[in-house]
Amino acid sequence: MGYKNSIQLTKDKKLRHFLTIEGLPRAILVEILDNAESFLTVGEQQVKKVPLLRGKVIVNLFFENSTRTRTTFELAAKRLSADVLNLNIATSATSKGESLLDTLQNLEAMHADMFVVRHALSGASFFIANHVAPHISVINAGDGCYAHPTQAMLDMLTIRKHFGAFADLNVAIVGDILHSRVARSEIHALTTLGVNEVRVIAPKTLLPSAIESMGVHVYNDMNKGLEGVDVIIMLRLQKERMDGAFVPSEEEYFNCYGLTEEKLRLANSHAIVMHPGPINRGVEIESSVADGKQSVILEQVSNGIAARMAIMSMCMSGIAAGEV
Amino acid sequence: MGYKNSIQLTKDKKLRHFLTIEGLPRAILVEILDNAESFLTVGEQQVKKVPLLRGKVIVNLFFENSTRTRTTFELAAKRLSADVLNLNIATSATSKGESLLDTLQNLEAMHADMFVVRHALSGASFFIANHVAPHISVINAGDGCYAHPTQAMLDMLTIRKHFGAFADLNVAIVGDILHSRVARSEIHALTTLGVNEVRVIAPKTLLPSAIESMGVHVYNDMNKGLEGVDVIIMLRLQKERMDGAFVPSEEEYFNCYGLTEEKLRLANSHAIVMHPGPINRGVEIESSVADGKQSVILEQVSNGIAARMAIMSMCMSGIAAGEV
Amino acid sequence: MGYKNSIQLTKDKKLRHFLTIEGLPRAILVEILDNAESFLTVGEQQVKKVPLLRGKVIVNLFFENSTRTRTTFELAAKRLSADVLNLNIATSATSKGESLLDTLQNLEAMHADMFVVRHALSGASFFIANHVAPHISVINAGDGCYAHPTQAMLDMLTIRKHFGAFADLNVAIVGDILHSRVARSEIHALTTLGVNEVRVIAPKTLLPSAIESMGVHVYNDMNKGLEGVDVIIMLRLQKERMDGAFVPSEEEYFNCYGLTEEKLRLANSHAIVMHPGPINRGVEIESSVADGKQSVILEQVSNGIAARMAIMSMCMSGIAAGEV
């Protein structure tokens, strides 16, 4: 198997780290979705707990602040009965001159079991996974522009719950593809799960140069791109892009690439609207669409906890079961 | 029932939110006190836990910092075996431009069960309670100058433990009535529970204009106001009031409205002295009085955890039981 | 018994606070080590939990920030099934003008069971232990230049696991003895446990004046000091000392007192290298030595959780058992 999977999978092809969807076998993605569906009901029980990871120590290593993502990982861990340690890296020992690897080795020596890593640099979670002890699992909670694989899996769960299967679906991803770790992970997940077509809709300034090589069709015109699609995944427009060379103005961006009720009518009538949040109402999405009956944005949030529970518990049992 | 109770109570008249004491039936207040008394012993057990809220997710939504109040809610929740999520709203998604309602809906989608809300604006907890999903309970941990109902209930518990009943008691509330959410909630609780007389003692600059309409007697002279009282509730003087138009100087305030041993002798000999904390020694209360044998200030703190356990568990069972 | 032990021990000579190693009977230290060894395996179990402190509330009172030490105490507490409250004192009620003693009394009224105290002032933990209620235990997690007794005990555990006994050992402590609370606690522990010889190796500017009275031999020349030693305890050089009157330059310090492979060969061939962390690679220790086969630095970290579990559970059972 390739370099990435040689890190992510055990010799028995079980998941042990979850860093990127690129290259993961379809069977692993389907197993994640199946497990996540079984966890979906846990959140609705009177006692929202399963004892799968009791006594395990999960360390949230957030080098980049993200209350929302950290919260969903923390809730997922607690529903699995794990203990959670939130480390604010900026104020910890690394600020005393200790190297990142020394910090990691210290956490390993404290018998941590899993690192959930958020970092501004692409590849940071791979770097960490390459250096941890064999009993540690690393989960990528978003690194740079590279990958956000748990977001992609919760979106796949949302799609499967609505349509049952992936084979006939046309999916459009709209917005800042260039800087989006979400977009990259979605594309890998959608192509691996075998949808009919993946489209990316964006201005040229927000598209990576060789994006077609990922197996997608490019549209610069949103009206054309939405025709006949079943799933619309809107991306968040980072405020810091809005005043630069990338986007002429918030208004013009909304006119061309904001999802309005009018544009939504170009898609199939049963199409669902997704967004990883937090949403900028009136920038990338019209308020009435975000709150409308085709929106599944809040379902994504609920599905996010179940998907993360599935991934965490699979990684832990992968390590427990096997030669690594 | 009135507007406030139509929000706070289920159709079966069970508590489902706890936002203000104004308008709550006396039976509900008595039920809170009875439950709180049964929880008082939990803090003294070897294992300080009851499993009533196991698996429930309680979110501390503190828009205004208060380590002490947050800590008592956190301990109350943990003693009920709930999971607690502390959100620092200033650094969370709302700072990325997300609206408060979007943040709330996200937390609901994560299957939160209760929001404990602290906010600088009066009415904030009502606003939130008006917008949450039916399975969510909201508890007001202090909003603006409006209400701090859990503080009032822990004080009622403290009074009842000392005197057994409310009917014969004269209670004086002393200090900055104008800006005090504690004072408003105390007055509603005391009149609902039927004490003999509620007095407020304050300079004119620290009294709301129509305070008599709440059923209290106003005293500007502390010596007269303390005559024959059984309970003295001192209010905290906010440092930011001391240099303004409200209070001429710390010394003069202490001379007129600080509780000294000398003034305390004007009250009944069995009178108890209360303060919500943190206390300013030498500003609103003499040190020897705060530490004296009539002071029940630390009992209030212990009672605070029991009272909050009672309110939290009643709200959760109100929602579980009923049509909402 | 002396002043210090009259605070630290119950009348039955059980541990109730853990503030300093100075004056503690050898039997207590051996009991800590024996208990810690039994806890060492807990970290390696599938479920890393023992129910000894279930329902107990342990408050981390960190007046001085230390993520690493706080984390090990938090993990130790969670493995004992206790509830942990992390208080950032800088932002809590003390900043509203409340005195430290009022804050402590409030936490006692909330039925806290243990304070883990980190403070920049020497003696702070004694001050607190002198003022807490009888049911509260205080553990010193490092105060000023005075003591860091849990660090010393985890180091004793590390030494005993490697050599089995203390009697024949020569131990060198190298570096900034003057400002090191770790050094003071190590010296007391080593002499109480009866090693053959304790040496301190440091420039004159980094030695307290009457250090020989603690029963150690002083070396200014590291080469001479390392001859024939079995254990080398390197101290961290605080960055703030490097530019002052204490150390001429980082390079010169490393030349004279940094532990290199070459200098390590002067010690006995089976000697172990210890460091409390976080390490400054290339300042007080050569990277290849820190990562070398004689280094036990990461074992110290693992042992730190077991040692703290032992101390916490002994203090709690000392209070539960006895007259205090």
Chain B nearest-CA distance from C97, in A, is: 7
H-assigned helices in chain C:
3-8, 26-40, 67-79, 100-109, 124-129, 149-163, 181-193, 222-226, 250-257, 261-264, 287-290, 297-321
- A-B interface: how many C-beta pairs under 8 angstroms? 67
Chain B nearest-CA distance from A280, in A, is: 7
What integer pLDDT is reported at residue A49 of this predicted model?
Answer: 87
Q: Is the ipTM of this complex over 0.90?
A: no
Suggest the residue from A280, A301, A303, A308 to mutate for an interface test with chain B (most B CBs closer than 10 A): A301
Q: List the one residue out of C219, C223, C214 whose CA is nearest residue C190.
A: C214
Residues forming CATH 3.40.50.1370 domain(s) in chain C? 3-148+302-321, 149-296
pLDDT digit string, tens, across residues C157-181 = 999 999 999 999 999 999 999 999 9
Yes or no, beta carbons of B88 and A67 under 8 Å apart: yes
Give the CA-trace dihedral at B248, B254, B259, B261, to 10 degrees: -150
Yes or no, beta carbons of A111 and C298 under 8 Å apart: no
CA distance A185 to A147: 5
Nearest CA in chain B to A66: B92
pTM assigned to the model? 0.90
Superfamily of domain C149-296 in CATH is Aspartate/ornithine carbamoyltransferase (3.40.50.1370)
Q: List the one residue out of B84, B21, B55 whose CA is nearest residue B307.
A: B21
No. of helices (H) and no. of strands (E), chain B = 12, 9
Chain C nearest-CA distance from A294, in A, is: 43
**Confidence bin at C95 (pLDDT 50/70/90):** low
CA distance C70 to A321: 32
Chain A nearest-CA distance from B15, in A, is: 19
Candidates C74, C277, C281; nearest CB to A106: C277
Q: Which helix (H) or strand (E) holds A290?
A: helix A287-290
What integer pLDDT is reported at residue A309 of this predicted model?
Answer: 97
pLDDT digit string, tens, across residues B21-63 = 999 999 999 999 999 999 998 877 777 889 999 999 999 999 8
Write out chain B residues lying below 8 Å of C109, CB-based: 298-302
The overall average pLDDT reported for chain C is 91
**Confidence bin at B1 (pLDDT 50/70/90):** very low
Write out chain B residues lying below 8 Å of A78, CB-based: 57, 83
CA distance C182 to B155: 46
Chain B nearest-CA distance from C110, in A, is: 5
pLDDT digit string, tens, across residues A139-178 = 999 998 889 999 999 999 999 999 999 999 999 999 999 9
Write out chain B residues lying below 8 Å of A68, CB-based: 92-93, 106
Write out chain B residues lying below 8 Å of C88, CB-based: 67
Nearest CA in chain B to C85: B71
pLDDT digit string, tens, across residues B270-312 = 999 999 999 999 999 999 999 999 999 999 999 999 999 999 9
Candidates A48, A68, A278; nearest CB to B57: A48
Chain A nearest-CA distance from B66, in A, is: 19
- Specify burial of residue B99 (Cβ count, 10 A radius: 0-12, 13-18, 19+): middle
Chain A nearest-CA distance from C23, in A, is: 30
User: In the complex, which subunits touch C with 3 or more CB pairs below 8 angstroms?
Assistant: A, B
Nearest CA in chain B to A306: B110
Yes or no, beta carbons of A57 and C75 under 8 Å apart: yes
Residues forming CATH 3.40.50.1370 domain(s) in chain B? 3-147+302-321, 149-297
Nearest CA in chain B to A75: B110
Domain covering B3-147+302-321, topology:
Rossmann fold (3.40.50)
Domain covering C3-148+302-321, topology:
Rossmann fold (3.40.50)
- The order of strands in the sheet holding B231-234 is B217-219, B197-201, B170-174, B231-234, B272-274
Residues forming CATH 3.40.50.1370 domain(s) in chain A? 3-148+302-321, 149-297
pLDDT digit string, tens, across residues B239-280 = 766 666 677 788 889 999 999 999 999 999 999 999 999 999
What integer pLDDT is reported at residue B73 of this predicted model?
Answer: 96
CATH architecture of B149-297: 3-Layer(aba) Sandwich (3.40)
User: In the complex, which subunits touch B with 3 or more CB pairs below 8 angstroms?
Assistant: A, C
**Interface residues on B facing A, Cβ-Cβ cutoff 8 A:** 54-57, 83, 85, 87-88, 91-93, 96-99, 102-103, 105-106, 108-111, 320
Nearest CA in chain B to C52: B47
